[in-house]
Structure 1
Amino acid sequence: MLVTLYILVSMVGVRSATVSILTDEISQIRTNPIINEISAKNVDVFRKLLNQETLIRINLVKNVHALMKDMLTLQEKLAETEGKISRIKTTTDDEISELKKQVEFLKVENTALKNKTAVDEKEIMILKENLENVANTLTDLKVEVRFLSITVFGMNDDFKEIDERFRELENSTKEIENEVRMNDKSNAAALSDLEKRHLVLIDDLKNITSSLQADIGEYETNQLKISATISSLELFRINQTLTKCDPKQKVAFTAGVTTRSSTWNSGTLIFNIVILNVGNGYNPSTGVFTAPVAGTYVFYVTALEYSKQYLSVDIVLNSEPKVKLVGDSEAAYQTGTNMVVLNLQKGDSVWVKHASGKGYWSTGIPVTTFSGFLIG
């Protein structure tokens, strides 16, 4: 194409042409005689060259437009692709940041779980030691319970006999009532006699009921005696345990109350009657035991609730409740007991504190008691 343009410009580059290449007309001014020799054949060649040049230019313009259109399309697709890549990068960065946070959280949680596991293992070791001590104590209590069971079984036999007598009287009463119904219309005299017998039996039932109530009162008294026996056996066990301790480290006490209260509902339960106080750790004025030496101690409390009023007390170490005992109100004068093994430092304090309910029961021989001793 450049060669063709060069030829065209060279041929028409004369200062004043005599023949118009485009119009093929003869100019009236003839200044150069050489131009007159240009033949019509050369003019046709020029026209063909111009036509080819025009066609080439048109094709070039079309190709340029197509290329520009393709470039614009590529730029749009490139921008769209860059936007997608940017969004994907942003999403990926967010996910990576979130995963890093989760990894850090899991690391912290794993460290906490490791620490907790170590603490739990120590607590399990302590619990195992406490369970061994409790197992030894339960062995001694089993012997005491067997002894008490023999006493209770004897009382149960008496109640069975009373119950059988009561049932016999009930059966007799039912038989008499049936006879009264059958002979009501036929024999008025017999009816009157049966009614008298019925009244006599009712009186007998009232007497038996009074006797049963007296027996129940005696049973409650025996229950109090059993509680006192338990306390005595506990004291015996304490003394037996103390004989196994180092003579220089003997600490033990048992205290009780010989009065009763139907209104006590707060504060420390003061056991003012001291039965034993080896080491002088228990203060009967305040009801508080203060450890004279560091070591492992056993504390045992028995409390009797006051006539269906419900009673619950806690064994407290330095103002922190450790165990609870309950005297239920389902029946009158129910006994609540509990025991705890504690590791004390010198100067630690243990006492019995009101939790709920009100009142407590005791007798001249203490039934509601508080005991403790050093085991090592």
Structure 2
Amino acid sequence: MLVTLYILVSMVGVHSATVSILTDEISQNKTNPNINEISAKNVDVFRQLMNQETIIRINLVKNVHALMKDMLTLQEKMVETEGEISRVKTTTYQEISELKKQVEFLKAENAALKNKTAVDEKEIMILKENLENVSNTLTDVKVEVRYLSISIFGMNDDSKEIDKRLQELENSTKEIENEVRMNDKNNAATLSDLEKRQLTLIDDLKNTTSSLRGDFGDYETNQLKISATISSLELFRINQTLSKCDPKQNVAFTAGVTSQSTTWNSGTLIFDKVILNVGNGYNPSTGIFTSPVAGTFVFYVTAVEYSKQDLYVDIVLNSVSKVRTMGYSDAAYQTGTNMVILNLQKGDSVWVRHYSGKGYYTSSAPVTTFTGFLVE
């Protein structure tokens, strides 16, 4: 910029030293410019150029300051963005870790359910075989009862025939007695022989009748025993059938934990001490209740936190949380309780799952418990 100013000043000086020849090269006609006036003009031009340069410098300085301020702001925003990215990464890693835990937990539950399904299938097969055996035995018993009934009916016919013959014998005896009375004393010996023969025949018939009636009584007794056995077998078969298909059978359980923990912080809370388990729906090995029937159930959980450690647990249905308990660490051994009523289908699963905090407390008589029962 200064070089440019110097060149302009030099050009002005050169032009001011020139002479204009107007006519005939006569010195009187030569025009000499006013050097003072030209110098004043040059000074004004120089001042204007200097003012413009100053303005340009000031604007450049302002622009540089604004640019530096923008760079500082950009740096601050970049730092904030990097912090936010770091927080997002940390949160993402935590969520991924939690999802991995959930996947492992679901895999374990799936394996447990598969094992339980295999065991249930084996039990069902054994029960079917037992029912088939009972049905076959019952069929055989019914056949034997039919044969016995036919035999008893035949004996009834024989007994009626014997009674008929006895009646005929009595009538014959009366006729003989009448005939004997009509004979004279000469026939006394013959009458005596006939009476002896009559008495012998009557005794034989009475003995035969008594024996037949005894046998008939034994058959009746055996028939009653067989009928009782059949009734017992039928009742057993009905009970076995109803225990598997009656939708209104009783289902209820209560279980507790037998030992406390200060570090438990994930997964299913396993209540390993079974107090009641009607219907065998609760599994103390997995802590999971599997509904044997469809219906409306009530579930209740009590969880005691361990010495000022927060404890939150959920009652979950098929891995979906339904209600939550809260044991807050404001004081030691705070108790969290909650209850829920659920409509379950046969095969649905309900258990207690960790949500937050760690550890739980119990005693010899369980204070951390899980209860459920069928209401309809």
Normalised to the residue count of structure 2, the TM-score between the two structures is 0.34
Normalised to the residue count of structure 1, the TM-score between the two structures is 0.34
